Amino acid sequence: MSSVLITGASRGLGLELVKQYSCRVPDDGLVIAAARNMSPELGVIVNQEGSRVVFVAVDISNESSVLKSTPTVTTHLRGKGLDILINNAGVHSWTDGGVSQMSDLGYQLRVNVTGTHNMIRSYLPLLQSANVKKVINISSPWGSTSSARDFYFAPCPAYKISKAALNSLTVQYALSHEAEGFTFLSVNPGWLRTDMGGSDGDLSAEEGASAVADLVASVDTSSNGSFKTISVSGYDQYSGQTIPW
């Protein structure tokens, strides 16, 4: 693996993934940190790492923004393909009063599903020209239809629906490109102590990012189209298990 593109890289899990991969790629490797804007924290990493970490402005909710980013990334790759695409960017919101009261379904789907779809299809040629060919969609067990009753307590129906749709998108891409040697994977990064996850999460963003990077490194085409959780020592809920759809 010599190149990885991470969306939602300005904070939280995405920022920590940039940190992790900046230490994991070879000296001639490249980490592409994609986000709407470069946060001060991401700016520090970009400045420290020099040409090994680059920032590319991408608003995944805007298809034209995604399309505009691909020539820039192609230039940074200098004739090489893109080994790994990690679709981490996403949104979450709460709805009181039950599913009939949700007014954010369209927005959640536009970012969490359509935005991911636009990233994959825009970067597919670069992925096809690389050797690794891994696409990782950061998901949530709250999107598991089989486990819906277990997570009913959380009043975020639009988020759950969008993650279920994201998982279906993962499967459809996996089926479409399995003959090319791709590995498409939905990944549960764990409950993290980030702005989205809150302060009561099980794991720090650093722990979650490290476990995600380990999982990405370990999977191969035999896992294509799967929904996996991370593996963290001491946590039964994070033992690398396959999550039911």
Strands (E), the chain: 3-7, 30-35, 53-57, 84-87, 134-138, 183-188, 192-193, 203-204, 226-229
Looking at the structure of the chain, the number of domains it has is: 1
Residue 1's pLDDT is what? 64
Q: Is residue 126 part of a domain?
A: yes
CATH number at residue 23: 3.40.50.720
Per-residue pLDDT at 147 exceeds 70: yes
Residue 241's pLDDT is what? 97
223: pLDDT confidence band, cut at 50, 70 and 90? very high
The Cα 116–Cα 87 span in angstroms is 6
The Cα 119–Cα 6 span in angstroms is 11
Which residue range forms the structural domain that includes residue 151?
A: 3-229
Q: Which residue in 110, 109, 114 sits closest to 157, CA to CA? A: 109
Q: Is residue 216 part of a domain?
A: yes
Contact 152, 173 (CB under 8 A): no
User: Is the overall model pTM greater than 0.85, yes or no?
Assistant: yes
Residue 47's contacts (CB-CB under 8 Å, 6 or more residues apart) are none
pLDDT digits over 155-206, tens only? 999 999 999 999 999 999 999 999 999 999 999 999 999 887 788 888 999 9
Residue 65's pLDDT is what? 98
Q: Is residue 234 part of a domain?
A: no
Q: Scanning the structure block, which residue is given the tokens 């790759």?
A: 77
Q: Is residue 34 part of a domain?
A: yes
Q: Is residue 239 part of a domain?
A: no
Q: Which residue in 197, 183, 191 sits closest to 211, CA to CA? A: 191
Residue 196's pLDDT is what? 79
Residue 40's contacts (CB-CB under 8 Å, 6 or more residues apart) are none
pLDDT digits over 23-71, tens only? 999 989 999 999 999 999 999 999 999 889 999 999 999 999 999 999 9
- Cβ neighbours, 10 Å, residue 26: 10
Report the relative pairing of strands 134-138 and 84-87 from DSSP bridges: parallel
Contact 190, 203 (CB under 8 A): yes
The Cα 245–Cα 233 span in angstroms is 24
Please name the residue ranges forming H helices in 91-204: 105-109, 116-128, 157-177
Residue 4's pLDDT is what? 98
Query: In whole angstroms, how large is the CA radius of gyration of the chain?
Result: 17
The Cα 95–Cα 107 span in angstroms is 13
115: pLDDT confidence band, cut at 50, 70 and 90? very high
